[in-house]
Each structure stands twice: as structure tokens, then as C-alpha cells.
Chain A
Amino acid sequence: MNLVKLTIDNKPVVVEQGTTILEAAKSIGIKIPSLCYMKMDDMNFENKPGGCRVCVVEVEGRRNLAPACKTECLEGMVVKTHTVRVINARRTVMELILSDHPAECLTCAKSGECELQDLAQNLGIREIHYTGEQSHYKGDRSPAIIREMDKCIMCRRCETACNEVQTVGVLSAVNRGFESVVAPAFEMDLDHSVCTYCGQCVAVCPTGALTERDYTWKVIEALVDPNKTVVVQTAPAVRAALGESFGMEPGTLVTGKMVAALRKLGFDYVFDTDFAADLTIMEEGTEFLDRLTRHLNGDKSVKLPILTSCCPGWVKFFEHQFPEMIDIPSTAKSPQQMFGAIAKSYFAKKLDKKREDLVVVSVMPCLAKKYECTREEFSVNGDADVNVSVTTRELAQLIRNANIDFASLTDEEFDQPLGESTGAGVIFGTTGGVIEAAVRSAYELHTGKHLEKVEFNELRGMEGSRKATVDFDGMKLNIGIAHGLGNARKLLEDVKSGKSDFHAIEIMACPGGCIGGGGQPYHHGNVDILKKRQRAIYEEDAGKPIRKSHENPFIQELYKEFLGKPLSDLSHELLHTHYFDRKKKVEIEE
């Protein structure tokens, strides 16, 4: 490997050839400000168009300033990162960006989390000398994502997330020059596009241009309505990240405090989506075993691999992009929707209430869940199984609104019966978790043997696409895992072309799985945060007394009292769904 020696701000530094000035500077503690630049190792995410020009530095012998994020170190380079020329240029560039950005910080959804705001502070911008016409675009409010492109600074991160990481292809830079902006085709609303609402664009947007649709007010309204029983469910990944919103270290598990806070907020029942995750394993696992057995017995009408269907972003993705394959994914609903269906039937009956009297709120790390609960097939006579879905970030907002000092809360337990869960339900929050949970149960159900070691390390990790073979007492099961829709697409193409020999594939739309969901506290491109959240999830699993879904006593009770058995008629009615071909057809004149 070749090394190059250079000096940055008079400090000598030796780096590998190919290192950028920005990285080299970072290695010796010099933080060159940057804006459009974002690089997430392991996530296949690299956005460095060199467009914002905030990171410019002076390189001796060079005519103009160099963008530190794109300029590779060369032997003997002399770099200055804070000369008058550099600072003036940087401030002027920043003023230019701000001159085309609404000064709405006080009321902006991103305020306090905004990278642009931070940068303006760091550069000491106190006045914008260059003023003029500002860009104005039509607002776009989809069920999950709000686009306020007046606030777009053309960093292109969302475009990279949407096209390169997720390969969804909704967004593109459109128009040219001052008029350029990132938008869906024909500048239509996201509603009319193939958007999966995975929210990765929101997760990486440095400004308030892309934010989630905020439903906190709907929650507050429900909570104060005396005629409503308000039930909340919290997804596994939420507890591993919520603490960050209150200044805690990433990876801090706050399950108990979260339950306490929800109770303080006034929810009548604080339940756990993990319970529904265990239920999902029962249904999906049984469906898998059924398909597997029939397949092994030579039934040609059965297709393998089975694909998981817990992730609504992923579901919408294949409905748009692979409509010819909609019979492959499991028909099991996602845990959120299973929870809603059970809450409004089984649990409502227990309470002796009509389903309309119940309001089911979900707290999700996800934006697609906001969309999922609006899907028509998930409501009965116009009453949605899940009424409102809010993100981890919105929950933090609700907690702050209610003047709750989160850090000082004493841990509390979930309510029963829908609050009990196993370690298998918890790990749904990370890539590899759903399939591991399924394997834990399927193994015992299929082989009739007791599974000693429940950790399947071969299924864990952060690589975007993984494969593993699990030994089912002599039968080798080939398992594929993909997180990030771009990786999913590759696996799916293989399945489509018959190149795949997988029996089951787990897919999660977001890099890292739900822990990296679009509704989580902003990670600002730091992959370490995701890894810490993942660790926290596995930690919670390890600490659970029961770690296999089928051993959850409340799940067993649910089947005994209500559903009968997995894949029963009632299960089918409440817990399974079907998919739609969403490929857009061009109207053709007869």
C-alpha cells in the first residue's frame, strides 16, 4: 500500500494513497466543515458530489480552492484549512446557500437537528449579504413524508439514498441551474410515485426539506377524548434509539423508561409490537414450514423461497418493481398490522368494547408504517386497525410536550396480555432478526427437537446482503438476508432469473433494518450509532427469560382462546393479507 505524506495546517500527516484531504484532516483532529458530503461505511452509502463547496481548502500551488471531500492527498501537498481566503469563501458560499433558503428556523421541523443550522452557527454567519430571488416549490404532503423543497440545498443525499442505496428511483435532480431541485418524475407528489416511504431520504436530509408527516396532534387529541380507549404499541427498534433524543448514548436501552413515559402520557394500555412479532413468527413460520414441506414433497404449485413481509417499505417496493412475483412473499401481515387486528378484535372483546372505541397508536422507527396503516385492506368499515403511527422522533416530541423528564423516569413494565414478548420478538428490530426468530421456532416445530443454542451468529451482521445455511437436523436450509432495498433488488433479480437456491429470504428496506429506520433519531451518517443500536437489541434478547416466539404464554393463550391454530380461518382473516400489482400502466388510446 502506498503512503503519502503531506501537511495540513502545518501539521504533518501520513495517509494511504487515495485518502481525501477531508479524511486526512479528520485523522489528525482537524474537522473541516462539510455539508453535502456523507459517507456511511458498510451501508454502501457515499454521497460526495463535491457540490456544496463548503469544505473548500487552500492547496499550495493550486489556482483555485479545492473541495476537501473530493480531493485526494498527494505527496508533499501543503493544505491550509482556515486562511482568510478560505474562511471568506466558505462564509460567502454559506451565505449563498442561506440566501436561497427560507429563514424559518424557529418553526422548522428540523430545527435543532439541522445540519445547515449548525453549520451557519459554526461559521458565524450573522448576516446574509447576498439576497435575491428565492426558489419556491409546491409543497408535497404524502401520508408519510413531507417535502418542502424550498428548503432544499441540493446536497443530493436523498437522491443517492433513493437511487443508489434503495434503487427505488423516485427522486432525481430535475431542471437546471437555479431552478434545479430534487423531485419525483414530473414534479408530482410522492403519492403518485413508486415511493416506498422507507424514509431513508428523510433520514439523510441535512435540512428541513424532507421530514416525516407529524401525527403527534392526532395522538394528543385521542388521549384527551374520554370516549376512546387508547392503546399504544411500540416497535422493537424504538427502545434502542429513543434515549438518543434525550441526550443518552446511542445504544442505551430505554424500554422501561419508555413504558413509563407512555403511561404518563395517558395511554390506557401500553403494549408491545414485539408481542405481535411473536405472533408473526407463528403465522409466517407455519406458512414457511407448510410451503417447505409441500415443496419437498414435490408440490410444484408451491414457490420457494418465501420472502418475509414485515416491512411495509419492502412490500410496496415489490408491488411496484416486481409485480410478477407478488405470490412469493409470505402473506403474513406485519407485526404492526397484526397487533392492530388483534387489538381491535380479541382485545376489544376482552374489554367488551366496540372496535371503533379503541384507538390504536403505534410508535415505529419507520415512516412507511404511517402509510401502511392507511392501506384500505387494513381497515374495517373505514376504521383502521392501526389509527395513528408515529415515529420514535415524534414520541420524543410528545414526551417533551408533556414536560416529562425522561432520564429520571423509573422503569415500568408493559401491560398484559399484548405486552408480553420473547427475545425473538425483540430482534425483529435489526437486520437478520426476523429470520433468526423464525428459525428458532421453525426448527423446534419442524424437527420436534429442543433448540439448545438460540443465537444464530451466522445470520447476524451488517453486510448488506448475507447468506447462511442452517442445519435443520440434517436438512440444510439456505437463508438469504438483505437490508437496504438495493441489496434486496439484487437478491430478487436472482430469484426471478432462477439463480437463487434460497429457501427463505429476509428483507428489510432500511440499511441496518428497523434500527436504521427513517423515523429514528437522526444518525447524521454515523454508522457506529446503528451498530450500537443493534447491540442493544441483541442485549435485550439475551436478557429475556423466553427467547422463542412459540413459547410466549400469551401467544399460546391467544391461539387457545381465540385464533385456534396458526393459518386457521380466523388467522387468515385477521393476520394475513394480499398484495397488489402497482406497476403503472400508461394509458393507451384505443
Chain B
Amino acid sequence: MAKVKIPDNKVQELKDICKSFNNDPGELINVLHQAQQLFGYLPAEVQEIVADEMNVSVAHVYGVVTFYSFFSMLPKGKHPISICMGTACYVRGAEKVLDEFKRRLDVKVGETTPDGKFSLSCLRCVGACGLAPVVTIGERVYGRVSPDDVKKILDEY
């Protein structure tokens, strides 16, 4: 694992987050949510600081981080792409759309392109089932996406 160093001021911010939850181990997930917001992801160092502040083992923090799909230990791309794989999208062909993204970006699900531009992930139901299949890039939502649209969508970025 590449060593990531975190700037001092961010360390303080992170500690403040822990403190705002009274360093209560029961609030670990809430803390991790905010930490991920702060750093964009949860590198090992962040988890170590959180563990230290909240007086739980690093293994416990890591166990929690790896349990929940919302938490990531890898930085997301500049434009995070999410393919909805909810049932409604699935039956309307989301898998083929996903395949096309994988093919075009040459990354697997959960990976980021080497240039850091795009990262690809799947999620379960954004609740826009009427627009199925749905793809989100950043805040933008694309509905009724077909594999043929993929190139056009990527070209926007």
C-alpha cells in the first residue's frame, strides 16, 4: 500500500470530527462518514487516527470500513461514475451499459482510470426507476442509457 501522508491541519480537523461525537465508539460510522467527506476516501492513516482518538483498535475500524460498501480506501476519480444495478435497471439492461463503461474505460468496478479522471462503481437503486437504466456521474443523472450512449456521455468530460 502506498504511504499517504496527511497534512497537519486535516489531522486536526479529523480529530475535531471525532471529538464532535464525544469520541464515542458507538458513533464510529458517523465519524467515518464525515472523515470520508473530508478526505474523499479513508486511507489507512485516517483510520489509524480515528482508532486512536476513539479508543478502538485499528483492526476494528478497518473491519467496519471494509464491511460497508459506502466506505472506500481508494480515492475516487475526478468524475465518479455509478451504474445503478437495482432490479429495475437490471431488467432494463444496466449490465450491458456497465460492460460498455468497463470496456471503454478499461477498468473494473471499484477502480479508477490511471489518469484519475473516472472511477467506476455500481450502486443499488438510486430510486429513479422510471429512468432505468440510470447512470450517475458526479451529481449528474443520466436516464434511459443504452450502451450506444456511453461514448457520448464520456465525451462530455
Contacts and interface: CB of A to CB of B under 8 A. Distances in A.
Interface in A165-214: 168-176, 183-186, 193-194
B57 A186 contact: no
A174 B57 contact: no
Nearest to B43: A186
Given A174-B66, A586-B48, A587-B45, A184 B7 contact: no
A588 B6 contact: yes
Interface residues of B, number: 25
B60 A586 contact: no
Given A588-B6, A588-B8, A590-B8, A184 B59 contact: yes
A163 B58 CA distance: 12
B61 interface: yes
B72 to A, nearest CB: 13
Given A586-B45, A587-B3, A589-B6, A169 B67 contact: no
A584 interface: yes
Interface residues of A, number: 22
Nearest to B3: A587
A589 B43 CA distance: 14
Contacts of A175: 66-67
Contact of B59 (A172, A176, A588, A589): A172
Nearest to A170: B59
A588 B5 contact: yes
Contacts of B58: 169, 185-186
Contacts of B44: 185-186
Contacts of A194: 57
A587 B60 CA distance: 20
Nearest to A186: B44
Q: Which of A169, A175, A185 has the most CB of B within 10 A?
A: A185
A169 B59 contact: yes
Interface in B58-97: 58-63, 66-67, 69
B141 interface: no
Nearest to A587: B5
B11 interface: yes
Interface of B: 1, 3, 5-8, 11, 44-45, 47-49, 51-52, 56-63, 66-67, 69
Given A175-B66, A193-B59, A586-B48, 17 more contacts: A168-B57, A172-B62, A173-B63, A174-B66, A183-B59, A185-B47, A185-B51, A185-B59, A185-B61, A186-B44, A186-B62, A586-B11, A586-B45, A586-B52, A588-B5, A588-B6, A588-B7
